[in-house]
Structure 1
Amino acid sequence: MAAREEKLRIIKRDLESRINELNALSEISRLITSSDNLNKMLGFIAKKITAMVKADICMVHLLNKGAFTPKMVYGAMRDRDTALKLAHVLSKSKLASRVLRTERIQIVDNLIRHKKDPFCGFCARESMQSLLMAPLVERGTVLGTLTCCSKRPYAYTKDDEEEILLFANQAAMAVENARLFDNIKVNYLNTMKLVAGIIDSKDRYTESHSEQVMRTALGIASILNLSVKQKTIIRYASLLHDIGKVGIDTTILRKTGPLTREEWVEMMRHPKVGAEIIKKAGFLDELIPSILYHHVRYSGGGYPPTRKRREAIPIEARIMAVADAYEAMRSKRPYRKRLSRESAVSELKRNSGTQFDPKVVNALLKVLR
């Protein structure tokens, strides 16, 4: 009776383990199809593997031009310096070379015995005693490695190998999908940049305007110590800020005299139209607020109509507003001469606090020094 109950307990435990594994794989599949955030997906995979095989560390390293780059380190040793050192020694590891060459999982039961291998030696010095390394392979291409380390000797079994292989395949799919998505994104942005250039060229007075706005806006962003992500938004949003002018009649864009009320209404539509164009892409939503609000006044007003003012306006849009205005004043237009730097700066100072964010204006002044 006792033996039967023990057998039932083992069967129940194995079933629960399999159910947890299937649930995790299902969640990963959902993330792969619904998210373009590779770090989020790999972090979830690493977390699940760590819990499932009781690893102390789970690492994902990707190949880039023959060298490894750390993409995810979960568990102990999560500081970036250690992750970079691991990537460096991994590139010199015969164990890693064997995994990549054979496309098969390798298990090391006693790291101290293999300390001559740079990667195994490094992990042993970090108090790890055993590891399992799996290749990340998708469509016949080896993308990198997934490694689990444990402070226990002989920590990994054949069952662990099979489980981790399933998760490694999911991780490889996530990496490949993210790379394909990035390629699509880059190609789309290049197309939009081409369209923006065509719009600028519709008016010989504003040729290269978007490029100049981008350079000025990035200079301001650097002075304000914005993050890499914010600078990326500014880079592309600046290039595409006038994309909404694609539907505006060339006669309006090139008009030498004052615009009529109807023509101004048409011109003021371009931020909203531009935001709608970008929204249709489906994966550039982070650019929309900057494009939509770059003609909104800091103290309220401007276009399109909105209740946003001051800090409620995205910082990227506030920067673009200043950069756009400055570059517009510094270029010749059919209805006026090109303003000198001094005159343009004087105009920005005069409207600082009303039309423009004062700290952004001050940042531009530092850029111009």
Structure 2
Amino acid sequence: MTDAATTGQTPQRDYYQALYQAALTISSSLDLDQVLQSVVISITKAMQVKACGLRLLDKESGLLHLSAVYGLSENYLSKGPVDVVHSPIDHEALHGSPVSIHDVRIDPRFMYPEAARQEGLISVLCVPLEVRGEAIGVMRVYTNTPVDFHEDDIQFLSVLASLAALAIENARLYESVKSSYHGVMNAFWGAPNVF
């Protein structure tokens, strides 16, 4: 994606820098929202794309809820829900396969082609967020010019999605441990004497 002739750097060097930055952020903060926002910004800049978004799966409703985004307008974000049943791109990604669409305005796998047209979106790359082999969401990048994503792009986005999934899992575990700790402490110090 990066034009080496204009930047003087290879795409891999930009990708390595973004990967390093994301790893530092993930390892130095317990604020999940801040971590995920930093990751989508790093991806957008490193891949030189229009936007990046991360959605988490609500297994009960089948909806993908937006958790972090960079580069998309409020108008586009309010286009409607992303339901896995009606979104072949997300359905395929949630089953473990990266999905690349050259032109979302005409590809039937994309749920909101008119909204994409109004937003100026053309190509999209979508990869799964997985924790221990289970998909918990998706990460997408969007371009405003036609792009054929290369294997380096897919690998880079997949690695960052894995790091984001790890950050999400760590945050959930931390909250669970914190909640258990407070429950035990409240029971220990606050429970009435039953003896």
TM-score interval w.r.t. the shorter chain? 0.7 to 0.9
Q: 2:144 aligns to what?
A: 151
- Once the two structures are TM-superposed, the CA of residue 47 in structure 1 deviates from its matched residue by 0.8
The alignment status of 1:170 with 2:136, answered yes or no, reads no
- Please give the alpha-carbon distance, in whole angstroms, between the structure 2 residues aligned to 1:184 and 1:83: 33
Larger RCO (alpha carbons 8 Å, 6+ apart) = 2
The residue aligned with 2:119 is: 126
User: Highest CA radius of gyration, 1 or 2?
Assistant: 1
Q: Secondary structure, in 3 states, of the residue corresponding to 2:9?
A: helix
Q: Which residue of 2 aligns with 1:36?
A: 30
Q: In 2, Cα distance between the equivalents of 1:193 and 1:115?
A: 54
After TM superposition, give the deviation of residue 143 of structure 1 in Å: 1.1
Q: Deviations over 1:299-327 (max 9, x none)?
A: xxxxxxxxxxxxxxxxxxxxxxxxxxxxx
Report the structure, 1 or 2, having the larger helix content: 1
What letter matches 2:176 in structure 1? N
Task: Tell me the amino acid that sits aligned with residue 161 of structure 1.
Answer: I
Aligned partners of 1:111 and 1:121 also within 8 Å: no
> Deviation at 1:54?
1.6
Shift of 1:146: 0.3
Q: TM-score, normalised by structure 1?
A: 0.46
Give how far 1:71 is off. Answer: 0.1
**Pair 1:23 & 2:36 matched:** no
Structure 1 residue 154: deviation in Å? 2.2
Matches within 5 A, 1:36-75: 36-65=30-59, 66-75=62-71
Q: CA deviation at 1:104?
A: 1.4
The count of aligned residue pairs is 187
- Contact in 2 for aligned 1:130/1:149 (Cα 8 Å): yes
Following the alignment from structure 2 to structure 1, what is the Cα–Cα distance between the partners of residues 5 and 68? Answer: 36
Q: Is the CA contact (8 Å cut-off) linking 2:88 and 2:109 kept in structure 1? A: no
Structure 1 residue 183, shift from structure 2 partner? 1.1
Letter of the 2:99 counterpart: Q
CA deviation map 1:315-354 (0-9, x unaligned): xxxxxxxxxxxxxxxxxxxxxxxxxxxxxxxxxxxxxxxx
Change (3 A) 1:50 1:72: same
Measure, in 2, the Cα distance between the counterparts of 1:61 and 1:48: 16
- Contiguous gaps of at least 5 residues in structure 1: 1-7, 203-369
Using the alignment, how far apart are the partners of 1:196 and 1:122 within structure 2? 55
Question: 1:197 Cα deviation (Å)?
Answer: 2.5
Q: TM-score if structure 2 supplies the norm length? A: 0.83
1:137 aligns with 2:133: no
The answer to whether the Cα contact below 8 Å between 2:89 and 2:109 also exists between their aligned partners in 1 is no
Q: Shift of the alpha carbon at 1:115?
A: 4.8
**8 Å CA contact 1:138, 1:173 repeated in 2:** yes
Q: CA RMSD in A?
A: 2.5
Once the two structures are TM-superposed, the CA of residue 23 in structure 1 deviates from its matched residue by 2.8
- 8 Å CA contact 1:53–1:156 kept in 2: the answer is no
- 1:115/1:194 CA distance change after superposition, 3 Å: same
Show structure 2 runs of 5+ residues with no match: none
Structure 1 residues 60-86: Cα deviation after superposition (integer angstroms, max 9, x where no partner): 000122321110111122x3x753545
Identical-pair percentage: 24
Paired residue secondary structure (1:48): helix
Partner of 1:98: 92
